[in-house]
Amino acid sequence: MTVQRLKDRIALITGASRGIGRAVALRFAQEGAQVLLLARNRKALERVDDAIRAVGGKASIIPLELSDGKSIDALGPTLYERFGKLDILVGNAAILGRLSPLTHIPSEHWERVFAVNVTANWRLIRTLDPLLRRSDAGRVIFVTSSVARTDRAYWAPYSVSKAALEALAKTYANETSDSAIKVNLIDPGATATRMRAEAYPGEDQTTLPTPEHVAESFVTLAMTSWTETGQLVEA
């Protein structure tokens, strides 16, 4: 019998309705985790829930808009009442924003990208930290991108927000270094996702790794045996 490496772990995954989030949710469920699926599209979440149950996994859906700070703030108390703890948080959800010169970016576009890519993750840390501390091995994984470190022209909202996310994650790693919580970042690289197609509309996605291909790296970082913190791992 294959050993389930995440058996009975409770895992919350944002952006779980498609792409990398969906693939990670399915893989975690196959590894025995009880998966909490968070995204804004209820119907898409229900399809992922169906797929997980079809392979014998356990899941719950959480339809939530990540720009809604009050809803995020209420998430921790709600999950505490139901589960009492959280073992794994995967902060995967993000939006690309407009690719254009800095001087041409409307303020509302900039603010929207930061609300989802940075502020939502800070709020998730704040509301879920008490639950992660109740786990014997809390694991937090944030999804980043190489553009956070390359200062690519015309990518400012996304690249600057990912740079901020990396600083946020490493700060949290340092603040939890004396606890059982391990906080790390993962860079999936070029992956066949809808966001990638939006950024590179002429690219042949059949030449790229699939979200399912990179899911194994998330399992590794989520395991109780993973002891590093504050690291950036390339899938």
Q: Edge-to-edge strand order for the sheet containing 10-14? A: 58-63, 34-39, 10-14, 88-91, 139-143, 182-187, 232-234
156, pLDDT greater than 70? yes
Give residue 54's pLDDT.
95
Least confident of 32-36, 187-191, 214-218: 187-191
User: What does CATH list as the number for 10-234?
Assistant: 3.40.50.720
CA distance 172 to 70: 21
Least confident of 2-6, 73-77, 81-85: 2-6
Q: How confident is the model at residue 199 (pLDDT cuts 50, 70, 90)?
A: confident
Average pLDDT of the residues in 172-178: 98
Runs of H (alpha helix) within 7-68:
19-30, 42-54
Q: Are 181 and 138 in contact (CB under 8 A)?
A: yes
Give residue 165's pLDDT.
98
The answer, as to whether pTM is greater than 0.85, is: yes
Per-residue CA distances from 208 to 159, 168, 185, 193, 215 (Å): 21, 29, 21, 9, 14
Q: To which residue do tokens 């390359």 refer?
A: 150
CA distance 205 to 104: 29
- How much is the mean pLDDT over the chain? 96
pLDDT of 28-80, one tens digit each?
A: 999 999 999 999 999 999 999 999 999 999 999 999 999 999 999 999 999 99
Q: How confident is the model at residue 112 (pLDDT cuts 50, 70, 90)?
A: very high
The residues facing 233 across adjacent strands are: 186
Q: How confident is the model at residue 214 (pLDDT cuts 50, 70, 90)?
A: very high
CA distance 188 to 132: 24
Known catalytic residues? 158
Smallest CA-to-CA distance from 183 within 125, 123, 113 is with 125
Q: How confident is the model at residue 136 (pLDDT cuts 50, 70, 90)?
A: very high
pLDDT of 95-111, one tens digit each?
A: 999 899 999 999 999 99
1, pLDDT greater than 60? no
Strand residues in 66-203 grouped as ranges (E): 88-91, 139-143, 182-187
200, pLDDT greater than 80? yes
φ, ψ of residue 90 in degrees (nearest 5): -115, 105
Give residue 2's pLDDT.
78
Tokens of 42: 């209820």
For the chain, which residues make up each domain, given as ranges?
A: 10-234
